[in-house]
Amino acid sequence: MAVGVVNTGLTALIIFLLLWRDHNVYLANAAGYIAGIGVSFLLNSVFTFGVPVTASRLLRFLCICALSYLVNLFTLHLMYQILPEYRYCAQLVAMSMYTLSGFFLNKYWGMR
């Protein structure tokens, strides 16, 4: 749980800083996730799943990040269609979907 909090906090900090500076919502979102991917892989490998860091796990992890990011973008786009004035809230909902999909995909495939 602590790994998720640290990584989500880092990602959110970057996204919200860029939104506060009036950057494009999708660019801010991408920057946050790019920054968090390396940290997430290392922390999740060692602390969450307790598995060795290997090239094959990294490749599966990156595939999962890509799939989870598509879930994130779909959610973000949907939220902006429904509630365009709540851009911070939309990011939080999209982050939740990324986190959930990423955790379960890693648990059952990526970190095996």
3-state SS string for 29-87: HHHHHHHHHHHHHHHHHHHHCCCCCCHHHHHHHHHHHHHHHHHHHHHHHHHHHHCCCCH
Q: How far is CA 23 from CA 46, 54, 89, in A?
A: 34, 36, 16
24 neighbors 86 (Cβ within 8 angstroms): no
**pLDDT higher than threshold 90 for residue 106:** no
Residue 111 three-state SS: coil
Query: What is the predicted pLDDT for the residue at 112?
Result: 81
Query: In this predicted model, what pLDDT tens digit does every residue of 21-49 receive, in sequence order?
Result: 999 999 999 999 999 998 889 998 888 88
62 neighbors 52 (Cβ within 8 angstroms): no
Residue 32's Cα: distance from chain center in Å? 8
User: Count of domains in the chain?
Assistant: 1
Query: What is the predicted pLDDT for the residue at 2?
Result: 83
Q: List the domain range (segments joined by +) for residue 102.
A: 2-110
Query: In this predicted model, what pLDDT tens digit does every residue of 38-93 receive, in sequence order?
Result: 888 999 888 888 999 999 999 999 999 999 999 999 999 999 999 999 999 999 99
